[in-house]
Amino acid sequence: MGKTNQSSVTEFVLLGLSGYPELEAIYFVLVLCMYLVILLGNGVIIIVSVCDTHLHTPMYFFLSNLSFLDICYTSSSIPLFLSSFLTSKKTISFSGCGVQMFLSFAMGATECVLLSMMAFDRYVAICNPLRYPIIMSKTSYVPMAAGSWIAGGVNSVLQTSLAMQLPFCGDNVINHFTCEILAVLKLACADISINIISMVIANMIFLVVPVLFIFVSYVFILSTILKIPSAEGKRKAFSTCSAHLTVVIIFYGTILFMYAKPKAKDSSGADKVQVTDKIISLFYGVVTPMLNPLIYSLRNKDVKEAVKNVLCRKCSSEGM
């Protein structure tokens, strides 16, 4: 036989939890409810950030970008994930897998950079408040957000193109919910060392560098807060960055737990680990985007007031 290439595989089978049918119904209901909360919560954040002029600030501009990103990220995989529970067909086309992989990479890398931009915004607001309007002007924060999207997109194009150019010679079963790149690379019948090297470099740029940037920013923020003489002043200063810090801990904490934990060596343990990995991946892909709008709005008076104002304007317009 001649050498086969990627044209021999036209679709992939997403294994998901097919080996655990008793869990599928439970996860279908849970994921559906969480996805609806994601759409509603992040949609509300975007609407109030656009409609309420009091929220036309760098922090809420970044937050609305983060909310839009979370909607895009979950919508790239959750609808297909839910439909797989309702039908025996659990496949995705080769091109569809590439699109899903691209969106996943792009949204993940963009979120890493966006979170670091938001940390810089909080650093300037607390450590250099008098110059905040100058440093974080519209001519600054709009290019910062746009640069985050462009950087994430460029990285995703590179990683996805390298992965989809590999030859896949028959085995098309992806042991995952989605076209997760590491699961896809395992199916390639060629050397993937270039892919691994490019991913390591990308992880250094989009994971390690933003984490260090956020860490240094919060070192300066904490140092400045501790110098504030009054307890009330310290509380107000910390409350302005507590939501962002919580999101950062959840986002990077989940990634660290996913990729830093030890792997099981025996086969029985490996099966349990694979199920655990899938559930953790589900948490990262669904629960984190669901929590973001809740974290930013539950204790945020500005967002609550903006929601009330938008609802009041809507009610008054309907009553006319």
Average the pLDDT over each of 11-20, 85-94, 117-126, 308-317 and give the range with the smallest value: 308-317
Tokens at 133, concatenated? 């309007």
Q: For 194-216, what is the mean pLDDT? A: 92
Half-sphere exposure of 178 (CA within 13 A, CB side): 27
For 11-68, the pLDDT digits (tens) are: 888 877 666 667 777 888 888 999 999 999 999 889 988 888 888 889 999 999 999 9
**Is 180 contained in some domain?**
yes
Total domains, the chain? 1
Predicted confidence band at 133 (pLDDT cuts at 50, 70, 90)? very high
**Is 265 contained in some domain?**
no
**Is 5 contained in some domain?**
no
pLDDT, mean over the chain: 82
The CA-CA-CA angle for residues 126, 128, 129, to 5°, reads 70
Residue 225 or 317, more confident: 225
Q: What is the C-alpha to C-alpha distance for residues 315 and 306, in angstroms, rounded to an integer?
A: 14
Residue 173 φ then ψ, to 5°: -95, 115
**Is 83 contained in some domain?**
yes
CATH number at residue 203: 1.20.1070.10
Parent domain of 147 = 19-258+274-318
pLDDT at 310: 63
**Is 11 contained in some domain?**
no
**Is 194 contained in some domain?**
yes
pTM of the predicted model as reported, rounded to 2 decimal places: 0.85
**Is 244 contained in some domain?**
yes
**Is 3 contained in some domain?**
no
